[in-house]
Amino acid sequence: EAGVAQSPRYKIIEKRQSVAFWCNPISGHATLYWYQQILGQGPKLLIQFQNNGVVDDSQLPKDRFSAERLKGVDSTLKIQPAKLEDSAVYLCASSSGPGQFFGPGTRLTVL
Amino acid sequence: AQRVTQPEKLLSVFKGAPVELKCNYSYSGSPELFWYVQYSRQRLQLLLRHISRESIKGFTADLNKGETSFHLKKPFAQEEDSAMYYCALSGRSGSQGNLIFGKGTKLSVKP
């Protein structure tokens, strides 16, 4: 089966600019996650969707981050405006049972 | 507070030597524990779950509730085991719940 797809793979922006990331989960997976992984740290959950509804967004900085999964399949994560501390790898994962399947991630650099 | 601690940032062993990657957790209920692995230039992938009690690529991990530990072990390390290893817990049944990751341990197996 095809894996979780993410784009872009790399993004460099200046602080205060906006950026969006896209994720296409494995077909049929109802649960989708966005994680932020800062260098030297493990991934940290930003938001979890079950189909097109939000299950957990308690760690999402809602003043600048937003995410949606309108049709219960693809998802986008947006940062507006970006800060220097947002530099990280943004991972998308999906699951339908045991084990989460991760995408390759988007490496964001904020200058 | 829910927390996963991996005390070693780097573990270096010679090929054929035993290896143990330590993981301790803090959780008030009965979590589900996982080990994820990331090989060079590859995506994060599930290695094993405590409830399946299986051995993957020669690795095993036993959940010790008394010591709140879930150490990953392999009796004879191979060079291809060199990778980043992350311990993670989920507070909800199955992996539909979000994962809390440790900071990871980089395993280097020398020839």
CATH number at residue A50: 2.60.40.10
Band (B96; pLDDT cuts 50, 70, 90):
low
Closest residue by Cα to residue B20 from B90, B80, B67, B76: B76
Query: Alpha carbon A19 to chain centroid distance?
Result: 12
Band (B93; pLDDT cuts 50, 70, 90):
low
Q: Is B88 on the interface with A (CB under 8 A)?
A: yes
At residue B94, the pLDDT reads 45
Percent of chain B predicted with pLDDT > 70: 95
- CA-nearest residue of chain A to B5? A42
Q: Is B96 on the interface with A (CB under 8 A)?
A: yes
- B28-59 tens-digit pLDDT: 878 889 999 999 999 999 999 887 778 889 99
Domain of B8 in residue numbering reads as 3-110
At residue B95, the pLDDT reads 44
- Smallest Cβ–Cβ distance between B43 and the set A40, A48, A104 belongs to A104
Domain count for chain A: 1
- A41-84 tens-digit pLDDT: 999 999 999 988 999 999 999 999 999 998 889 999 999 999 99
Contacts of B66 by beta carbon, 8 Å cutoff, 6+ apart: none
Domain count for chain B: 1
Q: Verify whether the Cβ–Cβ distance B45 to A102 is below 8 Å.
A: yes
CATH code of the domain containing B52: 2.60.40.10
Count CB atoms within 10 A of the CB of residue B54: 11
Q: Verify whether the Cβ–Cβ distance A42 to B102 is below 8 Å.
A: yes
Gap between the Cα atoms of B53 and B72, Å rounded:
12
Q: Is B17 on the interface with A (CB under 8 A)?
A: no
Query: To the nearest whole angstrom, how far is the Cα of B22 from the nearest Cα of chain A?
Result: 15
Gap between the Cα atoms of A93 and B12, Å rounded:
30
Gap between the Cα atoms of A55 and B103, Å rounded:
24
Domain of A40 in residue numbering reads as 5-110
Q: Which residues of B touch A40 (CB under 8 A)?
A: 103
